[in-house]
Amino acid sequence: MKIFGTQFICLLIAVLAVCEEGVCAEPPSSLPKIYLKKIESSGKDRAPEPSYEVQYYENILAIECAVTSPYDSIKSYKFRAISESINGLIYDPWLEEKTPYKKYTDLKPGKYVFEIKYVTTSGRDSNTIRFNYRIERPWWRTWWFWGACFISLFGLFYGRERFLKFWADEEQRHHRQIVELELRTLQLQMNPHFVFNALNSIQSYVMTHDALTANNYLSKFAHLIRLFLDSSRSKFISLSEEARMLTLYSEMEKLRFDNKFDFELIIDPEVNKYIEIPTMILQPFVENSINHGLRYKREKGFLHIRFYYEGQYLICKIEDNGVGRRNADQIQSKSRKGYNSQGLKITAERLITYNKINETNIVFSISDKNAEPHDTNEEVGTVVEVKFPKN
């Protein structure tokens, strides 16, 4: 009796549990089965399958189901989506619909499991059907894309650092080079040959008791040396200061060569006299005109220096009526004491380096007044044009 009583209590609990679930009226196998009738993915009809894989833009899903046989006791249809996340599965609540149709919009990329069933008027649940639905991530949200971006960004930053270091090294190298060239230019401007001849001229005036000329020459010499030293301390010099230095240098050379040439320096009225140009650029061209052209001229020569605007450039034109470059080379080749100037070569190197560092375009050209003289002894003269961008 005790055993029979225990079995009866267990049976009663099981019956109550089944009744609580609403299936005590009839067994579940007697309900019509629900099945998947049609899937519509972003307007595209798809046959019923256990799983689907679609692109990221196919994020609108319509589900239509049906039952195996007509059944009038269906109260509603239930739909549920189960999605995956880094924290596990996320179960959405069951959604009830009066019709066997449900539409999902704006689904996020990821993996889903959709479940569908129906509920009878007596509260019983039918069988549950499931299918998998996977929405691929867009290519810009995939791991390989972000990996490629990271590698590319790392490469860009690394390349940028290497480029900046390379450019800094190049800039330092160019800076050292231009400092060396400026020093060499200053040394050439104050070369022993020029200083020796200037002091010789002063001594000659003193010996001939021409104290006034000697004093004038010595004053100009001291002033010129001071200007050379001052200009060497800065990268730029105003046009008015450059004109003063060129005028003083030309006067010194004129006295040294016993007034063998005259000269004039003209700055056009529209030219800004306070515009700045690189230091120690023009003096080697003036020196070249005097020592290569005018000093070998049989008659009195003339040196003309003019500053003017032409388009987007400030032009310095240095023109002489000397013997010309070809005749000067022939004369110097016959004498070991011929004047050998390195000023133009160093000036050209300075301009190349200066243009690289400052991203500018200062250029010069040298030409004879008559390009093809018929007589090698013909005194043709030389024209030098130096172009400075206005900015």
Enumerate the domain spans of the chain: 25-141, 160-193+232-389
Which residues touch 122 (CB under 8 Å, ≥6 apart)? 22, 25, 73
Q: What is the pLDDT of residue 182?
A: 65
Long-range CB contact pairs, 36-44, < 8 A, 24+: 36/63, 36/64, 36/65, 36/116, 36/129, 36/131, 37/64, 37/65, 37/66, 37/100, 38/64, 39/63, 39/64, 39/131, 40/64
For the chain, give the mean pLDDT: 81
For Cα atoms 134, 135, 138, give the angle at the middle one, nearest 5 degrees: 145
Q: Which of 9-23, 114-128, 226-240, 272-286 has the lowest mean pLDDT?
A: 9-23
CATH of segment(s) 160-193+232-389: 3.30.565.10
For residue 384, the tally of other CB atoms under 10 A from its CB is 21
Q: Please tell me if the domain spanning 25-141 has the same topology as the one spanning 160-193+232-389.
A: no
Given a contact cutoff of 8 angstroms between Cβ atoms, the answer to whether 20 and 53 are in contact is no
User: What percent of the chain is modeled with pLDDT above 70?
Assistant: 83
Given a contact cutoff of 8 angstroms between Cβ atoms, the answer to whether 235 and 279 are in contact is yes
Q: Which of 20-24, 144-148, 337-341, 378-382 has the lowest mean pLDDT?
A: 20-24
Q: pLDDT of 30-40, one tens digit each?
A: 789 999 999 99
What is the helix, strand, coil percentage profile of the chain, to 5?
Answer: 45, 30, 30
Q: How do 110-120 and 44-46 pair as beta strands?
A: unpaired
Q: Does domain 25-141 have CATH number 3.30.43.10?
A: no
Q: What is the pLDDT of residue 145?
A: 79
Q: Is 88 left (phi over 0), alpha (psi -120 to 50) or beta?
A: left
Alpha-carbon distance 153 to 40, whole Å?
41
Tokens found for residue 359: 């991203």
Given a contact cutoff of 8 angstroms between Cβ atoms, the answer to whether 273 and 292 are in contact is no
The more confident residue out of 325 and 65 is: 65
End-to-end CA distance of the chain: 117
Q: What is the pLDDT of residue 30?
A: 79
